[in-house]
């Protein structure tokens, strides 16, 4: 959603009674992608300008804004000195694009819903912004589509924006620069998924390897794969190394085969072998969903030995809430939860305390069925076993959670259009 | 041992350090300017001298206002319009500027064509070659030096001063007309009045001057020097204008010759240059027209890109600033192509272009007045009442003349 689309929108209460009209948008500074704190509206009854705080708003859309309470109960405040308004203080002004090192004018501003907040995420500095402001974007877009072209959209992520120095000197707007890193990776992912391709790359390349790895998990594998192929190979490798194998496999599965092969040759041999194994499974089956990073233990270990071993092994495993007990041929004999382990007396051996008939799934099983099983038995993870009852991987609850309830970035945006 | 700088070296150095105020004033007496003042002198004698006095006064005040706006805000006029008035008003202002400047560009190519025709070169050769030459020097980025050569040619305008004296004008009549306003309510007179104002105070000058001042980074402390230069420039421009009118009044008007083509206008230089008058006039016209043809398309592209946020600047590559270069190219190509229409009256084109600028000037002036009186922008440097009064009278004056003209034409 763009600031220009929001400004001028009618504000209605919960029973559709008119409250006023959006005049401007208030933001609070302090974060890379500033939060919208409220709307400046022209009140319906007395034509005065009032502030409607975000907390009082039920829905913000391109067509209208709806408040939570009824007309007469809507709390309105007044504008304070030092409040920053998008249309008054930011739109039409010049900004410095730190990445491209150039001065550019703000034609429009892109807003997006990130979690419960609405944030300013990018400045539209191109033709599309101009056309949208004068209400011709639709018409020109249609005309160009006749020739198979699109109106070029030029967005600059707010993380790469600094106000022009001359404006700063006059104390008009001062937007402190802060790193994207300070945001939660899931939020970064959401912002990435909503900006223009070029800007995605710019935001992504600026991230540290660790944050990039975490953010990639939250993104659609298609977008992730695209981003991964834009950074240089060394950085891509480091990012892949920091990702759990199953997610790395998901990502590589969306890359062209020769690119995948190139990465696999360069990744550490052991990890590459696991990824290769995972890549053979179909995406939508248990095999495609599972991770190969889990903890297996021999039957004859004592509880005490087990705890010691966990301390050594655990850092690599995706989950340690379930421990899988196997025989010499890697066949699954039983399962033990962390709780079982801790409450058992230290000298007992594993085969005595483990649960023998545990729930398992096969690699070919459809992911929907897997999700059903995890949900039915309230599991944190389920082991994947082959025909010989050999354990080949586990599927954790957050893997199927992504399937049942996709990460925020993949959802259809509800509040912000 | 002190090395002596030869005379031409000194002239060169002087030309290289000339400020925005002086260059603007030179470019002000462009093809349209020379034509309009010549028509004023030869068709109405000394009758418009009183207008010249008032216009000079207004020009000085408006140029000072522009310079002050640039020095205090450190921003170009297009920048300020966009930031203070929003996108819709900017569209309106830029459309106005585009129309006015296109008229100027066309009129200056007409000037180039007329100048070369006097020298016996057909416009079908001179205009495309000069257009390409101007385009190339600007795009290659070394036009600044070339610009000075044409500035030098503009100095030929001083021959009007000599001619004005040598033609033995009726000084008594000239002085009387200067201080005794008279208006004749004919459409011919009113059109001339609007063109007269439009050629002296042009929309593009305000954008160009302010941009040059911001470019030079003149500080508030040094502002008094800049103001002196701007004021000097304004009076200097109209000093030349004054003598164009006097020279034409003393020669063409006395003999009842009306200007139909450039060669008629050249007659005013006869008393000074004799048989070389046509050559002198041609060179001066080419110099002034080319100088303005360098400045106006470039200044238009800068202003439009500035206002709408497109990349601009001659230090950018074509791919980096396609709209900037594209617009610049279109302005030159379209402007010069129009002149190639056969049997086009070049003098009429030059004259009409000035009237268009005159009609559109009030719009730009109103924007400027609102900006310069904005306390948030200008602080204590807002206009005083006297300035506001003069400029508002100017705006109303042109508007009234334009309306009266429309009324008479119908």
Residue-level pLDDT at A411: 42
Contacts of A133 in chain B (CB under 8 A): 87
Residue-level pLDDT at B358: 92
- The shortest C-alpha distance from A61 to chain B (Å) reads 23
Q: For residue A105, give both structure tokens.
A: 């004018």
Contacts of A88 in chain B (CB under 8 A): none
Would the CB atoms of B311 and A104 count as touching at under 8 Å?
A: yes
The mean per-residue pLDDT over the stretch B21-50 comes to 86
Nearest CA in chain B to A164: B75
Q: Is the pLDDT of residue B14 over 90?
A: no
- Interface contact A166, partner B, CB < 8 A: yes
In order of A15, A176, A278, the CA distances from A34 in angstroms are: 31, 10, 40
Residue-level pLDDT at B11: 60
Using CB atoms within 10 Å of the CB of residue A117, give its burial: 0 to 12 exposed, 13 to 18 middle, 19+ buried. Answer: middle
Where is mean pLDDT largest: A132-136, A355-359, B390-394? Answer: B390-394
- Average pLDDT over chain A, rounded to whole? 79
Phi and psi at residue A58, in whole multiples of 5°? -90, -40
Q: Is the pLDDT of residue B33 over 50?
A: yes
Distance from C-alpha of A100 to C-alpha of B159, rounded to nearest angstrom: 52
- Interface contact A261, partner B, CB < 8 A: no
Residue-level pLDDT at A410: 44
For residue range A295-312, what is the model confidence (pLDDT) as tens digits? 888 888 888 888 888 887
Of the partner residues A125, A134, A166, the one whose CB lies closest to the CB of residue B309? A125
Percentage of chain A exceeding pLDDT 90: 0
The mean per-residue pLDDT over the stretch A338-351 comes to 86
Nearest CA in chain A to B86: A92
Residue-level pLDDT at B328: 93
Q: Count CB-CB contacts under 10 A for residue B32.
A: 32
Residue-level pLDDT at A98: 64
**Residues of B near A (CB-CB distance < 8 A)?**
74-75, 79, 82-83, 86-88, 90-91, 306-309, 311
Closest-CA residue to A160 (of A33, A246, A249): A33
- The shortest C-alpha distance from A93 to chain B (Å) reads 6
- The shortest C-alpha distance from B309 to chain A (Å) reads 4
Distance from C-alpha of B362 to C-alpha of B356, rounded to nearest angstrom: 11
Contacts of B309 in chain A (CB under 8 A): 94, 104-107, 125, 130
Residue-level pLDDT at A172: 38
In order of A19, A57, A81, A87, A295, the CA distances from A51 in angstroms are: 12, 11, 13, 14, 56
Residue-level pLDDT at A404: 67
Q: Count CB-CB contacts under 10 A for residue A57.
A: 19
Q: For residue B105, give both structure tokens.
A: 């560009």
For residue range B124-139, what is the model confidence (pLDDT) as tens digits? 999 999 999 989 888 8
Residue-level pLDDT at B319: 82
Percentage of chain B exceeding pLDDT 70: 94
Distance from C-alpha of B115 to C-alpha of B292, rounded to nearest angstrom: 14
Q: Is the pLDDT of residue A182 over 80?
A: no
pTM over the 0.90 mark: no
Residue-level pLDDT at A346: 86
Q: Which site among B87, B309, B321 would you substitute to test the A interface, given the most A Cβ atoms closer than 10 Å to its Cβ?
A: B309
DSSP assigned state of A409? G
The structure tokens 């948030």 sit at B376
Give me the torsion for CA of A382, A387, A389, A391, rounded to 10°.
-50
B24-409 is classed CATH 1.20.1740.10: yes
Residue-level pLDDT at A92: 85
Residue-level pLDDT at B62: 92
Where is mean pLDDT largest: A23-37, A213-227, B176-190, B386-400? Answer: B386-400
Distance from C-alpha of A224 to C-alpha of A219, rounded to nearest angstrom: 6
- The shortest C-alpha distance from A135 to chain B (Å) reads 11
Residue-level pLDDT at B94: 95
Q: Which residue has the higher pLDDT, A102 or A132?
A: A132
Distance from C-alpha of A309 to C-alpha of A301, rounded to nearest angstrom: 10
Element of type H or E holding A273: helix A269-279
Beta strands A381-385 and A84-85: pairing type?
unpaired
Distance from C-alpha of B213 to C-alpha of B226, rounded to nearest angstrom: 9
Element of type H or E holding A397: helix A397-404
Residue-level pLDDT at B30: 85
The Cα angle at residue A339 between residues A336 and A345, in degrees rounded to 5: 85
Per-residue confidence at A199, pLDDT binned at 50, 70, 90? low
Burial state string for A257-278 with b = 16 or more CB within 10 A and e = fewer than 16:
eebbeebbeebeeebbebbebb
Contacts of B91 in chain A (CB under 8 A): 134
Contacts of A92 in chain B (CB under 8 A): 82-83, 86-87, 90
Contacts of A107 in chain B (CB under 8 A): 87, 308-309
Contacts of B217 in chain A (CB under 8 A): none
For residue range A230-282, what is the model confidence (pLDDT) as tens digits? 788 888 888 888 888 888 888 888 888 888 888 888 888 888 888 887 777 77
CB B157 within 8 A of CB B150: no
How far does CA B234 lie from the centroid of its chain?
11
Contacts of B86 in chain A (CB under 8 A): 92
The mean per-residue pLDDT over the stretch A152-167 comes to 70
Where is mean pLDDT largest: A13-22, A203-212, B371-380? Answer: B371-380
- Interface contact A392, partner B, CB < 8 A: no
Ordered structural domains, chain A, with CATH: 3-86 (2.30.30.240), 184-280 (1.25.60.10), 296-403 (3.10.580.10)
Distance from C-alpha of B391 to C-alpha of B172, rounded to nearest angstrom: 31
The mean per-residue pLDDT over the stretch A392-413 comes to 66
Residue-level pLDDT at A178: 46
Domain spans in chain B, listed from the N-terminal domain onward: 24-409
Phi and psi at residue A408, in whole multiples of 5°? -45, -40
Range list of H helices, B119-166: 123-139, 143-154, 159-166
Would the CB atoms of A92 and B87 count as touching at under 8 Å?
A: yes
Counting DSSP H helices and E strands in chain A, the numbers are: 18, 18
- Interface contact A134, partner B, CB < 8 A: yes
Would the CB atoms of B309 and A106 count as touching at under 8 Å?
A: yes
Window A:313-372, CB contacts with B under 8 Å: none
- DSSP three-state, residue A253: helix
Nearest CA in chain B to A87: B86
Distance from C-alpha of B288 to C-alpha of A208, rounded to nearest angstrom: 59
Residue-level pLDDT at A173: 39
ipTM of model over 0.90: no
Distance from C-alpha of A267 to C-alpha of A241, rounded to nearest angstrom: 7
- DSSP three-state, residue A124: strand
Contacts of B307 in chain A (CB under 8 A): 105
Q: Which residue has the higher pLDDT, B211 or B19?
A: B211
Residue-level pLDDT at A170: 40
Q: Which residue has the higher pLDDT, A327 or B3?
A: A327
* Residues composing chain B: 410
Element of type H or E holding A120: strand A117-124
Residue-level pLDDT at B336: 93
DSSP assigned state of A349? B
Distance from C-alpha of B98 to C-alpha of B330, rounded to nearest angstrom: 12
The mean per-residue pLDDT over the stretch B375-380 comes to 87
- The shortest C-alpha distance from A176 to chain B (Å) reads 21
**How is chain A split among helix, strand and coil, in percent rounded to 5?**
40, 25, 35
Q: Which residue has the higher pLDDT, B96 or A149?
A: B96
For residue range B355-370, what is the model confidence (pLDDT) as tens digits? 999 999 999 999 999 9
Nearest CA in chain A to B73: A166
For residue range A8-44, what is the model confidence (pLDDT) as tens digits? 888 888 888 888 888 888 888 777 788 888 888 888 7
Closest-CA residue to B67 (of B381, B311, B288): B381
The mean per-residue pLDDT over the stretch A355-377 comes to 85
Q: Which site among A2, A86, A92 would you substitute to test the B interface, given the most B Cβ atoms closer than 10 Å to its Cβ?
A: A92
Beta strands A322-326 and A296-298: pairing type?
parallel
Q: Which residue has the higher pLDDT, A184 or B323?
A: B323
The Cα angle at residue B118 between residues B112 and B124, in degrees rounded to 5: 55
Residue-level pLDDT at B105: 95
């Amino acid at each position: 959603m763009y600031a220009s689309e929001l400004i001028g929108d009618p504000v209605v209460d919960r029973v559709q009674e008119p409250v006023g009209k959006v005049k401007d948008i208030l933001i609070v500074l302090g974060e890379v992608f500033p939060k919208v704190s409220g709307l400046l509206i022209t009140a319906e009854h007395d034509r005065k300008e009032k502030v409607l705080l975000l907390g009082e708003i039920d829905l913000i859309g391109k067509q209208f804004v709806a408040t939570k309470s009824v007309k007469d109960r809507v709390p309105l405040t007044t504008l304070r000195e030092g409040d920053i308004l998008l249309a008054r203080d930011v739109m039409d002004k010049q900004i410095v694009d730190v990445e491209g090192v150039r001065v550019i004018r703000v034609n429009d501003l892109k807003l997006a819903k990130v979690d419960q907040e609405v944030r300013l995420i990018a400045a539209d500095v191109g033709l599309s912004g101009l056309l949208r402001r004068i209400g011709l974007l639709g018409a020109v877009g249609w005309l160009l589509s006749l020739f198979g072209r699109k109106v070029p959209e030029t967005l600059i992520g707010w993380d790469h924006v600094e106000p022009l120095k001359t404006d700063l000197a006059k104390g008009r707007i001062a937007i402190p620069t802060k790193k994207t890193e300070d945001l939660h990776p899931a939020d970064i992912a959401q912002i990435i998924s909503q900006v223009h391709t070029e800007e995605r790359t710019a935001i992504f390349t600026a991230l540290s390897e660790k944050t990039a790895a975490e953010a990639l998990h939250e993104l659609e594998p298609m977008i992730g794969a695209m981003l991964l192929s834009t950074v240089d190979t060394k950085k891509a490798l480091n990012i892949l190394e920091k990702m759990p194998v199953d997610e790395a496999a998901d990502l590589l599965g969306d890359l062209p085969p020769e690119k995948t092969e190139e990465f696999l040759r360069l990744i550490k041999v052991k990890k590459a072998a696991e990824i290769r194994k995972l890549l053979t499974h179909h995406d939508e089956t248990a095999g495609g969903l599972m991770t190969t990073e889990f903890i297996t233990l021999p039957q004859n270990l004592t509880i005490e030995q087990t705890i010691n071993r966990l301390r050594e092994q655990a850092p690599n495993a995706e989950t340690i809430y379930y421990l899988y007990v196997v025989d010499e041929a890697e066949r699954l004999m039983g399962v033990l939860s962390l709780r079982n382990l801790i409450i058992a007396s230290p000298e007992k051996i594993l085969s005595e305390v483990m649960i023998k008939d545990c729930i398992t799934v096969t690699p070919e099983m459809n992911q929907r069925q897997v999700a059903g099983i995890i949900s039915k038995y309230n599991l944190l993870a389920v082991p994947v076993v082959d025909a010989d009852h050999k354990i080949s991987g586990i599927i954790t609850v957050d893997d199927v959670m992504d399937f049942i309830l996709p990460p925020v970035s993949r959802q259809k945006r509800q509040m912000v259009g | 041992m002190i090395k002596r700088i030869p005379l031409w070296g000194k002239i060169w150095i002087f030309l290289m350090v000339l400020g925005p105020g002086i260059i603007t004033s030179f470019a002000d007496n462009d093809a349209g300017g020379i034509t309009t003042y010549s028509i004023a002198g030869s068709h109405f004698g000394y009758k418009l001298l009183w207008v010249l006095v008032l216009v000079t006064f207004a020009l000085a005040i408006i140029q000072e206002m522009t310079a002050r706006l640039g020095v205090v805000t450190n921003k170009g006029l297009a920048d300020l319009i966009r930031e203070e008035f929003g996108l819709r008003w900017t569209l309106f202002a830029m459309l106005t500027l585009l129309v006015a400047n296109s008229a100027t560009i066309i009129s200056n190519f007409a000037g180039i064509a007329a100048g070369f025709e006097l020298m016996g070169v057909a416009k079908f050769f001179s205009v495309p070659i000069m257009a390409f030459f101007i385009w190339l020097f600007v795009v290659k980025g070394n036009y600044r030096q070339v610009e000075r050569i044409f500035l030098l040619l503009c100095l030929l305008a001083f021959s009007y001063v000599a001619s004005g004296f040598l033609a033995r004008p009726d000084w008594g009549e000239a002085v009387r007309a200067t201080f005794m306003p008279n208006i004749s309510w004919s459409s011919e007179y009113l059109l001339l009045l609007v063109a007269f104002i439009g050629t002296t105070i042009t929309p593009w000058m305000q954008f160009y001057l302010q941009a040059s001042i911001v470019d030079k980074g003149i500080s508030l402390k040094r502002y008094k020097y800049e103001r002196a230069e701007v004021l000097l420039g304004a009076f200097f421009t109209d000093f030349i204008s004054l003598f164009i009118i006097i020279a034409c009044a003393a020669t063409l008007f006395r003999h009842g010759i009306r200007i139909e083509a450039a060669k008629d206008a050249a007659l005013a230089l006869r008393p000074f240059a004799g048989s070389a008058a046509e050559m002198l006039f041609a060179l001066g016209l080419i110099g002034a027209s080319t100088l303005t043809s360098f400045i106006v398309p470039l200044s238009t592209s800068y202003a439009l890109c500035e206002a709408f946020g497109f990349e601009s600047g001659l230090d950018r590559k074509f791919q980096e600033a396609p709209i900037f270069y594209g617009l610049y190219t279109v302005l030159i190509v379209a402007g010069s192509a129009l002149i190639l229409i056969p049997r086009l009256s070049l003098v009429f084109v030059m004259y009409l272009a000035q009237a268009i600028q005159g009609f559109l000037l009030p719009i730009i002036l109103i924007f400027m007045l609102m900006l310069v009186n904005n306390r948030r922008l200008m602080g204590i440097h807002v206009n005083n009442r006297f300035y506001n009064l003069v400029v508002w009278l100017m705006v109303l004056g042109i508007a009234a003349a334009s309306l009266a003209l429309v009324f008479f034409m119908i």
